[in-house]
């Protein structure tokens, strides 16, 4: 009888304990393109302030699973393109279509010199 009473008393506490540890995972997917609407191969999709993310495929498509309780912002970038951030709370769907602009670097003066033996 004592054991039955103990089981009845502890069972509801165990149910509530499981609910508090539930993790809310959400899958986001989409495409990262350049200004010509061409997918950017190997663009990086990264969770801001954490050390994980993923790469886009050769056509610019990506999939990433995130814990929506702790992850608030995704960053997108690639070499030669500007970095963009997407705030997940502002999204109304699971798909993201994002355009990255190219970075243009202007060089100042360029100096050329010839080295070697002269006779």
- Domains of the chain in start order, with CATH, are 23-99 (2.60.40.1120)
> What residues are paired with 56 via a beta bridge?
none
pLDDT tens digits along 7-52: 555 555 545 555 557 888 999 999 999 999 999 999 999 999 888 8
Alpha carbons 26 and 94: distance in angstroms, whole number: 8
43-84: pLDDT as tens digits: 999 999 888 899 999 999 999 999 988 899 999 999 999 999
Would the pTM of this model clear 0.85, i.e. be above it?
no
Neighbours of 117 (CB within 10 A): 4
């Amino acid at each position: 009888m004592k054991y039955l009473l103990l089981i009845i008393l502890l069972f509801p506490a165990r149910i509530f304990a499981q609910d508090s540890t539930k993790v809310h995972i959400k899958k986001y997917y989409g495409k990262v393109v350049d200004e010509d609407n061409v997918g950017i191969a190997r663009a990086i999709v990264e969770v801001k302030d954490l050390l994980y993310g993923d790469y886009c495929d050769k056509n610019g498509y990506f999939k990433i699973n995130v814990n929506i309780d702790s992850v608030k912002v995704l960053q997108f970038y690639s070499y030669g393109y500007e970095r963009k951030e997407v705030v997940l709370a502002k999204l109304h769907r699971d798909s993201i279509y994002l355009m990255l602009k190219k970075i243009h670097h202007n060089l100042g003066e360029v100096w050329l010199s010839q080295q070697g033996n002269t006779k």
